[in-house]
Structure 1
Amino acid sequence: MAEGTYEYECERAELLGVSPPDRETWEQNQKARLEQEQEELEIAQDAEIDHQGEQLQGTSGKLDELNSILANTQKKLNTKFKVVCGGLTSLMKFRPGGSSSNVNEDHQQSNDESGSTTAQTAQNENNALLSDEATSNDGPQASNVTPKRSVRDIGHKVGKQIDVLDSLISKSERAELSMHQQNKEMKRHLK
């Protein structure tokens, strides 16, 4: 016999020498115990989801900061190398092969534009995430929430966290591409 069944409780009462529990009373107690366990589980899940959401927001902020730093670094690289290489390109304009310098200037201008676009996109995503988080924080849930509603709320929070994870993935990919591009440019300029 499985523990937690009425028959098990009757055998247990018989072995202990006490009167067996009334079936209706036992079923009510069992139902109340299951509801309490379900409620405790939902509260624990809700707390865990909230904790994970806070961690995701922290990670999102750090990735925004990284992308901002990378954009600023890209701007500084472009201006420093433009100043240093600007003198060289003006000297090369007097040479017959000076047409290649125009290609480098166009490439640097496109890098400036992509760096500012990256920073603007990161800021827009961060604002969208913060507004989503602000609308999802409705305060503490009432203890008499029905299980279906609680499951929907948890599902909604998990859905938002999946969106945040997608955003984090795109931010980290953007940061990785930016770092790769900057490393490439620095190696090229150091040669």
Structure 2
Amino acid sequence: MSELQQQDQQSSNSYEQECQRAELLGLQAPDKDEFERRRQARLEQQQADHDAAEAVLLEQQDESLGSVGGKLGELNSILSSTQQRLNRFKQTACGSLTNIFARPNSGSVDLSAAAGGATVATQEERAPVQDQPRPPPTAAEVSAAKAAKQQRMDSQLDKLDALINKADNAHIAMGEQTQQMRRLAK
């Protein structure tokens, strides 16, 4: 059975149940057209509430991703400045020994390229809230809303990828700097 036929059957069942209820209570049976209008309005309101809750959730996720991205960016800049200090310390304290032994330069991690390539822009889009009943959305409006929601979700996936890259760069930099500090301490 198709979805439309199932909805029509459920609607008929609901109307029949409402008629039976009215009969048991000794009330007048509801008008089928009025019942359908109320049911449609209730379904539209539920869908609007669901869409609004989804939009709020997406907005909160955007804010959360932006916050995490900023913190990872700050961590990477701290690691970059620590790397610069380590390099300066190696040049001043170990520079003469390095020249004597002609030791190859130990690898340093360049975070400037990694931090610059992972900028993420946040978008804030809110659907206008209307108190007045509105006509049912057209197929074009529904597909446009789905496309906008998909675009926001894709944007969040891109942000997550950028955050993962920042975290990986920070992890690599911390490991490299820890090794350098251990070598210098020996």
Query: TM-score of the superposition, structure 1-length normalised?
Result: 0.79
Amino acid at match of 2:38: N
CA distance in 1, matches of 2:142, 2:53: 14
**Which residue is equivalent to 1:183?**
178
Query: Contact conserved, 2:65 with 2:159, CA < 8 A, in 1?
Result: yes
Q: Residue 160 in 1 paired to residue 146 in 2? A: no
Q: Residue 36 in 1 paired to residue 29 in 2? A: no
Higher helix share: 1
Structure 2 counterparts to residues 132-171 of structure 1, below 5 A: 133=122, 136-137=123-124, 139-143=125-129, 146-171=141-166
CA distance in 2, matches of 1:150, 1:32: 19
Identity %: 32
Equivalenced residues, count: 167
Amino acid at match of 2:34: T
**Which residue is equivalent to 2:16?**
7
Q: Give the superposed CA RMSD.
A: 2.1
> Relative to structure 2, which stretch is displaced further, 46-55 or 12-21?
12-21
Query: Contact conserved, 1:64 with 1:123, CA < 8 A, in 2?
Result: no
Query: Contact conserved, 1:70 with 1:175, CA < 8 A, in 2?
Result: yes
CA distance in 2, matches of 1:16, 1:68: 73
**Which residue is equivalent to 1:66?**
75
Given the alignment, which residue of 23, 27, 35 partners 1:18? 27
Q: Residue 119 in 1 paired to residue 128 in 2? A: no
**Which residue is equivalent to 2:85?**
76
Amino acid at match of 1:142: P
Query: Contact conserved, 2:114 with 2:169, CA < 8 A, in 1?
Result: no
CA distance in 2, matches of 1:15, 1:181: 79
Q: Alpha-carbon deviation of 1:178? A: 0.6
Name the SS for the 2:118 alignment partner: helix
Structure 1, unpaired ranges of 5+: none
> Relative to structure 2, which stretch is displaced further, 178-187 or 143-152?
143-152
